[in-house]
């Protein structure tokens, strides 16, 4: 069975680093590569960059990590969205490796 994945999308890279750190300290998880998105309405957002944090581990640990990350992110710039996939399928596994952080 595949590891669960917890996806936490937040406003800004600094918030992503702090939320990712909090999640890793709260549970036995590891991080996949972060991803970014600059939506069309970026100028109207609290921070014009959305960053996706991806936690991997057991469902219980991923849930704890996402909750800890959300708590920190909400004290900073905020949470856009979160979701937990208990058993990702093969195509989803491939998409978890995608990152636009190294793209202009």
pTM here? Answer: 0.90
SS3 67: helix
36-77: pLDDT as tens digits: 888 778 788 778 889 999 999 999 999 999 999 999 999 999
Domain assignments of the chain as residue spans, ordered by start: 4-95
Cα separation, 60 vs 48, whole angstroms:
32
Q: Is the pLDDT of residue 104 over 70?
A: no
Cα separation, 13 vs 35, whole angstroms:
10
Per-residue tokens: 41: 């309405």
Fold of 4-95: Alpha-Beta Plaits (3.30.70)
């Amino acid at each position: 069975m595949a590891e669960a994945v917890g996806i936490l999308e937040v406003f800004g890279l600094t918030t992503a680093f702090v939320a990712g750190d909090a999640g890793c300290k709260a549970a036995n998880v590891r991080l996949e590569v972060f991803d970014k998105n600059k939506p069309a309405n970026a100028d109207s957002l609290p921070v014009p960059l959305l960053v996706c944090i991806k936690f991997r581990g057991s469902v219980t640990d991923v849930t704890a990590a996402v909750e800890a990350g959300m708590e920190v992110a909400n004290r900073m710039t905020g949470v856009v969205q979160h979701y937990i996939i208990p058993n990702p399928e093969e195509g989803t596994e491939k998409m978890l490796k995608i990152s636009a952080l190294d793209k202009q």
